[in-house]
Structure 1
Amino acid sequence: MKTLYTWMLAGCLLTIPISCQAKNDRNAELAIKTEKTLEIYTSKTDPDTKNIQVALLLDTSNSMDGLIDQAKAQLWEIVNELSYAKCGHYEIKLQIALYEYGNDRLPSQEGYIRQVLPFSDDLDEISKELFALTTNGGNEYCGKVINTSINQLDWKKDNDHLKLIFIAGNEPFTQGPLDYKDAAIDAKEKDITINTIFCGNYTQGINTKWKDGANLTNGEYSAIDHNKETIHIATPYDDIILQLNRRLNNTYIYYGNEGSKKISLQAEQDRNARSYSDANAVSRAISKSSGFYKNKSWDLVDAAEDESFEIEEVVKEELPIELKEKSSKELKQYIVQKSKERKEIQDEIQNLNKKRLAYIKKNSKKDGANLEAALIKAIKTQGQRKSFSWEK
């Protein structure tokens, strides 16, 4: 006689016959294996989420100071534009990876390439790494850095996600030990689209194969003036948004052994954004009011949104000094209060941003020849193929 053990796996019933005479440890072993299978499945598949994965490959050779400057100055506007993405009922998650290449300070045996940051949704960390980039003369191997990013990064296996590489530089696309055409074949097999941004004359970029590098995966080719200074439009709403950002920062409750460092990093990236202009600091504040800015690894308000989070497991010694003596009940009440405050402030920032965008649209001439414009155009074009849309 046999007993049927049944589990639900990936929407299907999994029925396994087990002998009634089997030992208890065999049953336990089977249960553990099945549990592990379920864990592997659920870790790889989130049916309610669509990811936008963007790998930025930036040339950091001597001539690229302007490109890096644009990346720093335009990061938050890029994030803001992506935050308006919609795809049916799905939650949209943004992950950004960062590579630098073509810099003499990088290891020659690696092809003058460095993974600055793997895929991350930590926007403060992304900003920190961007601001730490410096330039130095070198050899720019486009095929090699593309291939490296394809093999090193944790790309989603499901082709419903938006998986994009953006490579920017100004030397011939053909340089280096690995043919860019071979890298494009690898990308296409994994449903990754390569977009190329040539820093210089449009025709020169075509002649040096940058356009061909994009065409091979149906990506976008753009040519930009990388030395052009980013123009930020000041609006009547900026001062109010900056004031709200200061209030927003006060809703964060750090915890854990890295918590105090992370909240300091948040303040540091506020200062970095403001170093370009108040308008850029405003763009960052708007990013912080979006769904992409989540910090559950160090902030109790974001962490408490996770059903598996247990406040009792928080080490009291790793909390701000004014919270160390609070009971778990008092701490929960404090988190609820700060969560409510944050939601109200974020809503207010978003409402003001609608007015800000209308003002900018009315008072500016959009310059399409910069890094931000090239990225957004490509992402929206390719996102539409995956049923993504953008609504403000």
Structure 2
Amino acid sequence: MKTINLWGLLCLLIVPVSCNAKNNGNSELAFQSDNSYQIYTSKTDPDTRNIQVALLLDTSNSMDGLIDQAKAQLWEIVNELSYAKCGHYKIKLQIALYEYGNDRLPSQEGYIRQVLPFSDDLDEISKELFALTTNGGNEYCGKVINTSINQLDWKKNNDHLKLIFIAGNEPFTQGPVNYKDAAIDAKEKDITINTIFCGNYKQGIETKWKNGADLTNGEYSAIDHNRETIHIATPYDDIILQLNRRLNNTYIYYGNEGSKKMSLQAEQDSNARSYSPANAVSRTVSKSSGFYKNKSWDLVDAVEDENFEIEEVEKEELPQELKGKSKTELKQYIAEKGNERKEVQQKIQELNKKRIEYIKNNSKKDDSNLEAALIKAIKTQGERKSFSWE
């Protein structure tokens, strides 16, 4: 890592990068407090734009409805994000999860817990959401925002979309960290804070939730967190769920954790069904999108990585029925499953277009839930970075 002072920087030509301009390198410039710049070597694909979303959820006693909405609406949120475009760039979604305001959490940490760092593993995100429970406590908004800014691996390049969503219902001013200081830190790192007050809109303004968002040009929303999520059944649901079973049969686990990860996939299918068949359909649609990738344990996804070598996978790491196959036979089997997966995913996407149209024509618009607040803010702020949802 090399540090350049401002005089040296005058010799550099800095060209802003947008979604419509090609980034020709892997370096990122970040301004430092000592009036210098640091060049960071990015390990990220320069042809990728990240949507980084940190969810900070109040898990005190009164927030059961909020957690239920998060569980019930996760897959529709992911689906909406999967439609994002940004020029020729590939879009990568990363979600981090924090809980705060729960008496079971360590008081010395400010009743805060990082549930999950930035992750693109949608099954893990679902698993952790379904594991959340509520209990009374102290809700320190400034503290949890500050903690998420400092702990998470935020992209330093400002071409990425970096968002914090904090939801709760106690005054935004509580705790040892002033929310205004946390907002200043967020703004310096090009992170936008969006606040979701669980209660009356005017009360959220009076308790500084709106001000907490305004400081970084974020969105303030007030939602009815106790409203039950209404899932609209469509004529296409049963067919999509049948395709989900075919989709699951295209996964080929490998490695020490492969079998467990495949079981986790099935477990999260079950969690989605526990809310409604329509929610299970939403998850299936997510599994047909580009955001649902499992190259760490699935051979079909793994072979898409040019750095992956199938020859390095030991027979002991494969399912029993594949251990007797030669490398040539194994490659052919993976290719067949890959082709089948693409076919199934395409059918799901085609049916989902009809499903979306049916829901649009048979339901009233609802802006009072978590999903609506998240999607509105993400689209509004994404447009500033040249992301679009056409």
Is TM more than 0.5 here? yes
The reply to whether residue 97 of structure 1 matches residue 85 of structure 2 is: no
SS at 2:291's partner residue?
A: coil
Query: Which aligned pairs between 1:145-164 and structure 2 lie closer than 5 A?
Result: 145-164=144-163
Kindly provide the amino acid, as one letter, of the partner of residue 101 in structure 1: Y
Q: Distance in 1 between matches of 2:206 and 2:225?
A: 19
Shift of 1:46: 2.4
Aligned-residue CA RMSD in angstroms?
Answer: 1.2
Q: Distance in 1 between matches of 2:156 and 2:146?
A: 17
Aligned position for 1:16? none
SS at 2:41's partner residue?
A: helix
The reply to whether residue 347 of structure 1 matches residue 342 of structure 2 is: no
Q: Distance in 1 between matches of 2:292 and 2:119?
A: 11
The reply to whether residue 41 of structure 1 matches residue 66 of structure 2 is: no
Structure 1 residue runs of 5 or longer lacking an equivalent are 1-9, 13-37
Q: Structure 1 309/135 Cα, relative in aligned 2: closer, same or farther at 3 Å?
A: same
Report Cα offsets for 1:198-250 as digits up to 9, x if no partner.
00000000000000000000000000000000000000000000000000000
SS at 1:389's partner residue?
A: coil
Shift of 1:42: 4.9
Aligned position for 2:273? 274
Kindly provide the amino acid, as one letter, of the partner of residue 336 in structure 2: Q
Report Cα offsets for 1:231-275 as digits up to 9, x if no partner.
000000000000000000000000000000000000000000000
Kindly provide the amino acid, as one letter, of the partner of residue 126 in structure 1: I
Report Cα offsets for 1:160-197 as digits up to 9, x if no partner.
00000000000000000000000000000000000000
Aligned position for 2:164? 165
Structure 1 residue runs of 4+, over 4 Å off?
none
Q: Distance in 1 between matches of 2:24 and 2:210?
A: 43
Report Cα offsets for 1:17-37 as digits up to 9, x if no partner.
xxxxxxxxxxxxxxxxxxxxx
Report Cα offsets for 1:33-65 as digits up to 9, x if no partner.
xxxxx9x7351x422000000000000000000
Aligned position for 1:84? 83
Query: Which aligned pairs between 1:350-361 and structure 2 lie closer than 5 A?
Result: 350-361=349-360
8 Å Cα contact 2:253-2:259 kept in structure 1: yes
Q: Structure 1 42/216 Cα, relative in aligned 2: closer, same or farther at 3 Å?
A: closer
Aligned position for 2:259? 260
Q: Distance in 1 between matches of 2:329 and 2:145?
A: 51
Aligned position for 2:315? 316
Q: Distance in 2 between matches of 1:382 and 1:181?
A: 20
Percent identity, aligned pairs only?
88
The reply to whether residue 75 of structure 1 matches residue 74 of structure 2 is: yes
Aligned position for 1:31? none
Shift of 1:11: 5.7
Q: Distance in 1 between matches of 2:215 and 2:54?
A: 17
SS at 1:186's partner residue?
A: helix
Q: Distance in 2 between matches of 1:191 and 1:227?
A: 32
Q: Structure 1 365/11 Cα, relative in aligned 2: closer, same or farther at 3 Å?
A: closer
Shift of 1:318: 1.7
Aligned position for 2:283? 284
The reply to whether residue 219 of structure 1 matches residue 218 of structure 2 is: yes
Kindly provide the amino acid, as one letter, of the partner of residue 228 in structure 1: R
Q: Distance in 2 between matches of 1:175 and 1:316?
A: 56
Q: Distance in 1 between matches of 2:251 and 2:286?
A: 15
Kindly provide the amino acid, as one letter, of the partner of residue 219 in structure 1: G
Kindly provide the amino acid, as one letter, of the partner of residue 296 in structure 1: K
Aligned position for 2:65? 66
The reply to whether residue 182 of structure 1 matches residue 181 of structure 2 is: yes
Aligned position for 1:127? 126
Kindly provide the amino acid, as one letter, of the partner of residue 294 in structure 1: K
Aligned position for 1:4? none
SS at 2:251's partner residue?
A: coil
The reply to whether residue 55 of structure 1 matches residue 54 of structure 2 is: yes
Q: Distance in 2 between matches of 1:289 and 1:107?
A: 39
Shift of 1:132: 0.1
Q: Distance in 2 between matches of 1:262 and 1:93?
A: 21
- TM-score w.r.t. structure 1 length? 0.89
8 Å Cα contact 2:24-2:46 kept in structure 1: no
Q: Distance in 2 between matches of 1:299 and 1:11?
A: 31
Kindly provide the amino acid, as one letter, of the partner of residue 184 in structure 2: I
Q: Distance in 2 between matches of 1:146 and 1:81?
A: 25
Q: Distance in 2 between matches of 1:187 and 1:343?
A: 40
- TM-score w.r.t. structure 2 length? 0.90
Aligned position for 2:299? 300
Q: Distance in 1 between matches of 2:24 and 2:143?
A: 41
